[in-house]
Amino acid sequence: MALIAQCPSSFTLYARNPKYDMQFGAGKVNFAPGYGAPAIVDNSGKVRNALFEDYKCFLKMIQSSGYFDINGGILVQPSDLPAEKAMPMMVCTALSASDKAILVPNGDKLGTDIMFGLLNALFGREDLLHKPRVITLVSTLTPLQIDEAALNTLLTYAEYNQPVMVTPTVMAGSTGPITLSGTMALANAEALAGIALVQMVKSGCSVMYGCQSTCADMKAGGISIGSPERVLCVAMGAQMARMYDLPYRGGGSDTDAHGFNAQAGMEGMMTLMNSWQSGTDLIVHSTGILSGYAAMSYEKFIMDLEMIGMLRRIERGIGVSEEELALDVIQSAGIGGQFLTQKHTFQKCRQELHTTKICKRGQLVSSDHQAELIVATEAEKNRLLSAYSQPKLPDNLQRAFRKLMDKYGFDFDTCLIN
């Protein structure tokens, strides 16, 4: 506990563009996209392997969206890249394609060294030692273990003074006790062990207390992330993090659904709203995830953005200023009057009320409503892609990136955004 007490209660993650700097532990809920899925599920339910082009496509949409201040990570696991080359190439592409704060994958020692070489070129070693510039997540190996790659990540990030999210994923009934309190006790031990280890290497290094714990599906033995038990674990994890005065990373729009359907929406909003209400500092998997982290969906990604927009509107609350109470407007309309043509309505209708991008409102008509929803998500996806503008990376940095990637046998041109 003496080591845990050395952790900062809050910290800033600095982006290449300062307007995207992120505060953790300061009361703001931040969103990060899906992470780690090897497959894509299309709108017909067909499953295919994810490709590097999918990774780039998600990078563009995240850069264009106003709901994210962070980009990168393993948005999908590209099947067309060799496993040993995927991590450095994803990092290189994310650093080139986005000027937002960067979530980076963790990998083997070579991949981690290459990544820090890219960061040294971009920011300089002294800057890295004094400013958190990237953040990664480290999963423990439940029960009560940590593998070599995760351990190397913890040690290396501590040496560079870069933050990590230590995130156990205990499954009640399989990798942890069937009772949720027992599962959370086990997860807590693993989280604190990883956090304490970071402090042994670098006292005061920023960390996040993470919780991905949930239950196992007792019918099949696999993970269940769209369950009420998942909600309870994330909510309790938030309370534990607050007790230790640590920033908190929790789950997102988590679902066990295999496709873009009612189950995905129902479970996704339940888990996402719970993480938001719990005051989670960084909600990972907030968009796109399906089937217990096995797949990403473009359609669900867009639907989840719609849900985040709703939560941001709820977050604004109800103002009670004189102008917002609008008693003069009520008096002007009078008994039996109407407000649609009031000047006050025209002035505030675009700011006060949330406007949906894909959800239907209005008159009930007979139609193929699922098809209409898919068309709407496709239109919003195309809008985000069309709105993408690549932040300029100075020529000298591009040359430095190319030189480093060439040194280790990577094709830098493959990392470029078309």
pLDDT digits (tens, 9 = 90+) for 217-253: 999 989 999 999 999 999 999 999 999 999 999 999 9
Confidence of residue 45 (pLDDT cuts 50, 70, 90): very high
> Residue range 149-158: average pLDDT?
93
Q: Give the model confidence (pLDDT) of 163-209 as tens digits.
A: 999 999 999 999 999 999 999 999 999 999 999 999 999 999 999 99
161 with 214, same domain?
A: yes
Number of structural domains found in the chain: 2
Of 170, 194, 193, 196, the C-alpha closest to 182 is 170
Same domain, 120 and 234: yes
| Strand, helix or coil for residue 93 | helix
Strand 295-296 versus strand 39-41 pairing type: parallel
Same domain, 219 and 348: no
Continuous H helices in 161-297: 180-201, 228-243, 262-277
Residue 235 inside a domain? The answer is: yes
Tell me if residue 223 falls in helix, strand or coil.
strand
Residue 352 is encoded by which pair of tokens? 């006060």
Q: Give the pLDDT of residue 309.
A: 96
Residue 204 gets which letter from DSSP? T
- Sign of the Cα pseudo-torsion (120, 121, 127, 128, in order): negative
Strands 134-139 and 164-167 come out as: parallel
**What is the enclosing helix (H) or strand (E) of 148?**
helix 148-160
Co-location of 204 and 327 in the same domain: no
39 and 73 together in one domain: yes
Nearest CA-CA partner of 193 in 176, 180, 210, 177 = 210
Rounded distance between C-alpha atoms, residue 246 and residue 269, angstroms: 26
Note the pLDDT tens digit of each residue in 57-67: 999 999 999 99
Cα distance between residue 260 and residue 303, in whole Å: 9
User: Under a CB-based contact definition with an 8 Å cutoff, are residues 306 and 356 in contact?
Assistant: yes
Write down the pLDDT at residue 362.
87
- Residue 79 confidence (pLDDT) above 90: yes
Residue 391 lies in a domain: no
Range name among 67-71, 88-92, 124-128, 252-256 with the lowest pLDDT average: 124-128
pLDDT at 321: 94
Cβ neighbours of residue 47 closer than 8 Å, sequence gap 6 or more: 39, 40, 41, 295
The verdict on 219 and 339 lying in the same domain is: no
State residue 109's pLDDT score: 87
Q: What is the mean pLDDT of residues 2-15?
A: 97
Same domain, residue pair 245 and 287: yes
Question: Residue 359 belongs to what domain range?
Answer: 320-369+380-386
